[in-house]
Structure 1
Amino acid sequence: MTAPSRPRSLLNQVWNGSIPLEIRLASEECRTYDQSDPYLIQCPRVSYWPFLLPRIHSFFATSLINPEVSFSDGWLSFEDVPLKWQYPMGLLYDLYAGTEPFRPDTSAPAAATPTPEESNEAEQSGALPRPGSSSSSTQPWKLVLHFTDWPQEHLVQLDDQGKHMQDAYINAVKEADFLRNGSAKVVMSLSKQDSTTLYSAVQDHSLQSYYPIYQKFLKPPGGPALRHVPLKLYMPSTSTSATSTSTAVAAAASSSTDEPAPPTAAGMLRIVQTLVTPLAPGGRAQNTLGAVLNTVLPALFPSRRRNLLAEPVLHGAVVPLAAPVEELLKEAAYADGWLHVVVSMMG
C-alpha cells in the first residue's frame, strides 16, 4: 500500500495553526522614552522563533540603543522567562501563555476532522484553526525582545548562519527516528537534497515540501514496523504551585530528560520521557494516550479514561485519552517528528 501523496485534513490543520504575537523591544534597550511600536505577526505553531529574528531585528533597528548588535544576539522572554529557541512556538505557547485549551467532544474519533462548531471554538482559544484561517487566537501573545544579557544558563547562544538552530532541529529528528525505527538510519540515509528540503520546508513553513519526506520516516521502504512513539510530556509550573506539582510529578515519572529547576525558579519545567509502544501489552489493542499517562504519571492520571486532576494538551487542544498514540503520531506530530504534550493541571 503506497503512502498518501497529500497530507490528511488534521495534519493540514496542525500546520495551519498559528499564534498572534505582539513583540516589544526591551525598554532598557530602546532609545525612545515611550518605547517603540510593537512588531505584530502570525507565527505558525510548528515553527521556531529564531526564524523570525532577521525580520524582527530589521524592524527594531532604528530603535536600538546599539544599532550594531547582530540579529543572532536576539532572544525572547515571557514574564521574565527566557523562551527556549529549540522548542516549537506552539509548545511554548501551551506551556506559558496561560490560555484555556480547546476541549473537543471526547466522544469523537481521535483522528476525526473537527466540526465547524468545534473549529470555531478552537479558533477563539488558541488551538487549531479552521481550514484556511490564519488566526488561532483573538488575543496576541505579548513577548519581549532582548539583544543584550544573553541568558547563558538557559539558552545556547545562536549564530548568524543559523547553524545551531539547524543542528538542534536535525538532532531532534534523528532522536525521533531512532525511537520509531530502532535506529536513525532513515534520517542518516536521506540524500543531501532531501535533508536540505526538510529543514527548508520547516523554515519556510511548507507542508507540501515537508510531507513527502516525513512519510519516509513513518514508512521507511523495507523498514520494520513502528517500535516506539516519540512522545515527551511537559510539566510547567509557577513558583507558587511548584512544590506540590513537582512532588506529584517526581512520584509518578519513570524517567526525565531535563533536571527540574529549583522550586523558586520562574518558568519551572520538568520533561518526562519514557518508551511508548504503539500497541498495548499483549500486542493486540492499540495503545492509547490515557494508558500511557496512567502508566507514566499515575498520580496525575489515576484513570485511563477520564481527566480527573490534569489534562494532556497538544496544539492548544485537550487530547481525548482514548486517542491511539500511533494515530496521534501520524496526524499531529510537530515538525521534528515528536508529540510534545503539555500536562495542564485542572482547577
Structure 2
Amino acid sequence: MPAASPAAVAALQRRIWDGRLPLEIRLAATDCTTYDTSEPYLISLPRLAYLSPLLPRLHAFFRSVLVNPEIPSHEAWLSFDGLPLKWHYPVGLLHDLFSGAQPAGLDDASKMESSAVQHSIHAPPQQDIQTVDDGTLPWRLTLHLSAYPAELIFPLDAEGDVLHDAFVNAVKEADFVRNGTAKAAMSLSKQDASTLWRAVLEHDMGVFNTVNAKLLNPPGVSLRHVPIKVYLPVDSQADIPGVVVEEKEETGEDQQPQRQAGSVRVVQGLVPPVSPSRQVTTLGTALNTLLPTVFPSKRNPVLACPVLHGAVVPMSASLEELGRAASYTDGFLHVVVVLLS
C-alpha cells in the first residue's frame, strides 16, 4: 500500500483537531449552598484539550453558590460517576475511557477489514471524527472543591506549572521513543517550547505544527519507534506476559467500579514503523505484538477493537501514518481498547 500523501495526513489531522465534546459540569452538592439546584456550566471543549485550564472559569461561574468561595480554583477537581479525572489526560481520552459512549464505527467494526474503501488514511470514513450521540452527550461531570483525592490525581498549582511540566515530560518521552534520544525535545529553544504549550492551550493547530515538525523531523535522525500507549478496560486486566504496565488506575475506596471506569491498565512498548522484513507496521500488527491475547489477529478485531479520538480505527492503518496524523499533542497515540460483545 503506497504511503499517504501529505495532503491526506493534513486532512485527517484537521478533522481530529476539529473534534469537540459538549460538557455539562455541575457543582457537587457538598460544595453548593443550594445543594443540587445550581445551574450547570455548559461548554464545547476540543477533544485534545486538558480540563484543568477550565478551573478558573468554573470557580468564577459557581462562586456565588460555593460553600467556601475562598478555596482557590486550582484546589478544585472534576469527576465522572465518582471517578476523579486525571489532569494529564486530554478530555477526549478521558471520554473514550470512562463515558461508556459508543465510538463512531463500532457497529461496523466487524466489517471494517472487508471494506477496501476504508482501509487507511488514504480514504478515511465519510463519518466525521466526532463522538456519536448515543444519549451520553453532553458528558456530565461534577466539580468538587473539597476532599481532594490526592492519592488518585496529582495536585495542581495556581500558575499551571504542574500540568505544563507533565506535558513537557510526555513530549520528551515521546521524542525518546521515536528517536532513541530526547535530543530534539531538549534542543527546542525556550521560545519554541513556550509556543508549543501556548498552541496547545489555545488549540491552534497551525502554530502547533510549526514547532511539532521539529520534533517529528529532526535532521539526520530516522524514526525508530512510533509512540503508542494502549488503555485496557477493567474487563481485560488479566496478567499479560511480556507487557510493560505503565500504570494502573483505581477508583476511591468507597467507589464501586462503573463500566470501564473502575480500573485502567496502560500498556506501552517499542513498536518500529517497519518490520525486519521491511513490511509496514500496521495498527493491527502493533496491537497483536503488545496484546496478543486481546488482539489475536493482526487484521481483524476478533475480541476487541481499537478506538482513537472517539472512532474505531482500521487494523490495517499504517502505524507511522497514524502517528503523524492522529497523535495527541503530547506526541503519543492513545488507543483505547473496547471489548466486542
Distance 2:98 2:227 in 1: 22
- Find the counterpart in structure 1 of residue 86 from structure 2: 84
Q: Is the 8 A contact 1:252 1:299 kept in 2?
A: no
Matched, 1:110 2:120: yes
Determine whether 1:275 maps to 2:270: yes
Q: Which runs of 5+ in 1 are unaligned?
A: 127-135
Alignment of 1:310-321 (within 5 A): 310-321=304-315
State yes or no: 1:326 paired with 2:323: no
TM-score by length of 1: 0.88
Aligned to 1:130: none
Distance in 1 of aligned mates of 2:131 and 2:49: 20
SS at match of 2:295: coil
Contact kept? 1:10, 1:112, Cα under 8 Å: no
Superposition pairs of residues 19-30 of structure 1, within 5 angstroms: 19-30=21-32
Partner of 2:102: 100
Please, which of 123, 132, 136 is the counterpart of residue 125 of structure 1?
A: 132
Give the aligned partner of residue 240 of structure 2: 251
1:24–1:145 Cα contact (<8 Å) kept: yes
Cα distance 1:305–1:113, how it changes in 2: closer, same or farther (>3 A)?
closer
In the alignment, which residue of structure 1 is the partner of 2:48? 46
Report the CA distance between 1:270 and its aligned residue: 0.6
CA contact (8 A) 1:94 1:342 kept: yes
What do the CA deviations read for 1:274-315 (whole angstroms, capped 9, x no partner)?
111101232x11111111111221111111111111111000
Written as runs of structure 1 = structure 2, the 5 A alignment for 1:137-286 is 139-222=137-220, 224-237=221-234, 241=235, 245-247=236-238, 250-252=239-241, 254-259=243-248, 261=250, 266=257, 267-282=262-277, 284-286=278-280
Separation in 1, partners of 2:47, 2:16? 8
Report the AA paired with residue 257 of structure 1.
E
Given the superposition, is the C-alpha separation of residues 325 and 162 from structure 1 closer, same or farther in structure 2, using an over 3 Å criterion? Answer: same
Structure 1 Cα separation of the partners of residues 301 and 25 of structure 2: 35
Distance in 1 (alpha carbons) for counterparts of 2:204 and 2:135: 22
Letter in 1 for 2:69: P
CA distance in 1, matches of 2:8, 2:122: 17
Q: Please tell me the root mean square deviation across aligned C-alpha atoms, in Å.
A: 2.3
* Alpha-carbon distance in 2 for matches of 1:12, 1:214: 15
Q: How many residues align?
A: 323
Equivalent-residue separation in structure 2 for 1:167 and 1:290 (angstroms): 32
Q: 1:101 to 1:4 in 2, by over 3 A?
A: closer
Q: Which amino acid aligns with 1:230?
A: P
Secondary structure at 1:311 match in 2? strand
Shift of 1:24: 0.3
C-alpha distance 221-288 of structure 1, shift in aligned 2 (>3 A): same
> Equivalents in 2 of 1:230, 1:311: separation in Å?
19
Taking the aligned partners of 2:136 and 2:89, their CA distance within structure 1 comes to 23
Instruction: Report if aligned partners of 1:19, 1:137 keep a CA contact under 8 Å in 2.
Output: no
Deviation of the 1:221 alpha carbon: 2.2
Matching residue within 2, 12, 16 for 2:14: 12
SS class of match (2:152): coil
Aligned equivalents of 2:275 and 2:6: distance in 1? 26
Distance 1:296 1:159, change over 3 A: same
Q: Distance in 2 between matches of 1:261 and 1:23?
A: 22
For structure 2, list consecutive stretches of 5 or more residues without a partner in the other structure.
Answer: none
Which residue of structure 1 lines up, in the alignment, with residue 301 of structure 2? 307
Letter in 2 for 1:91: L
Calculate the TM-score normalised by the size of structure 2: 0.89
Partner Cα distance (1:46, 1:253) in 2: 31
Q: Alignment identity in percent?
A: 46
* Cα distance in 2 between the residues matched to 1:62 and 1:260: 34
**For residues 85-132 of structure 1, what are the alpha-carbon distances to aligned partners after superposition, in whole Å with 9 as ceiling and x for unaligned?**
00011100000010111117543242135454x22xx54616xxxxxx
Please state how far the C-alpha of 1:255 moved relative to its aligned partner: 1.0
One-letter amino acid of the structure 2 residue matched with residue 86 of structure 1: H
CA contact (8 A) 2:25 2:42 kept: yes
Q: Kindly provide the amino acid, as one letter, of the partner of residue 111 in structure 1.
A: I
Q: Evaluate the alpha carbon distance shift between residue 185 and residue 323 of structure 1 in structure 2; reply closer, same or farther with a 3 A threshold.
A: same
Distance 2:139 2:163 in 1: 23
2:131 and 2:98 map into 1 onto residues whose CA distance is 17
Q: Is the 8 A contact 2:28 2:36 kept in 1?
A: no
